[in-house]
Amino acid sequence: MIKKIIKLAAVSAAVAAMASCAASNAPAPTETASQAENTAVTDASDFVLLAEEVPDAIMEIRYYSTYNFVGDRIDGYDEPCALMTKEAAAALKNASDDAVAKGYRLKIYDAYRPQTAVQNFVEWAEDTDDTRMKEYFYPELDKSVLFDQGYIAEKSGHSRGSTVDLTLFDMSKGKEVDMGGTFDYFGELSHPDYTGELTEEQIQNRNILRDIMLENGFNPLDTEWWHFTLADEPYPDTYFDFPVSGKSVGVK
């Protein structure tokens, strides 16, 4: 299992001596704490392919496609697959089993997200002239406010490997359930507790997904109905940066 990044509080001979006995991916003794926090880890040995670990789940990896808020395939998504830490994948398998028992399948939009992809988002957000996908994903907002309102940030919990974006697929109807809003919509409509113009069915559908994920050890996000993070995530302070690809986890 990958060793967690060690944060260095100060650079001193004593700290350097301790660091020499630490994990091989610990920051060099001359790095500051701030620099250490910004180090992206490229070791994928504790990650697995969700298609293998959660075979009932449907994969629709939006950042491999051009149907996302950027409008292009996102850097770091080399294949249309999903990766997660072993611990998160095991919990998601249990959630999938519960969904299937209720007549649904989980549909995955995104899971592990490399830091390279996050940087792609940041660069896109800084280009305020590129508004190709505005009418689909942020019609109520000016692109210039995406940083201030927290829709785009320099770090993402997805890069820690235990967060997933997903919805439910209704097996009896052969289609996604109606959540009253699309994945990655920037606005209040996406808040899990939003009722507004939602129908009782749409509210119920959101609650079904939420209950399944909560019962299997995931915590929700208060601004995105589709976003859940393993409560006991194994790498809460580590940000990874290897490609989204089966090859990253030894699957050809």
Domains in the chain and their CATH numbers? 1-38 (no CATH), 43-249 (3.30.1380.10)
Handedness of CA 186, 192, 195, 198 (dihedral sign): positive
pLDDT at position 40, please?
A: 82
The CA distance from 54 to 110, in Å, is: 14
Which amino acids are annotated catalytic? 224
Are 77 and 64 contacting, i.e. CB atoms less than 8 angstroms apart? Answer: yes
pTM, two decimals, is: 0.85
Q: Tens digits of per-residue pLDDT, 206-231?
A: 999 999 999 999 999 999 999 999 99
The phi and psi torsions of 80 (rounded to 5 degrees) equal -80, 65
Q: What is the CA angle 48-51-47, rounded to 5?
A: 10
Q: For 86-101, what is the mean pLDDT? A: 98
| pLDDT surpasses 60 at 27 | no
Beta bridge partners of 163: 229
Residue with tokens 């089993």: 97
Q: Tens digits of per-residue pLDDT, 75-86?
A: 999 999 999 999
Averaged confidence pLDDT in the chain: 88
| More confidently predicted of 34 and 142 | 142
The CA distance from 81 to 247, in Å, is: 11
Q: Widest CA span of the chain, in angstroms?
A: 65
pLDDT at position 39, please?
A: 66
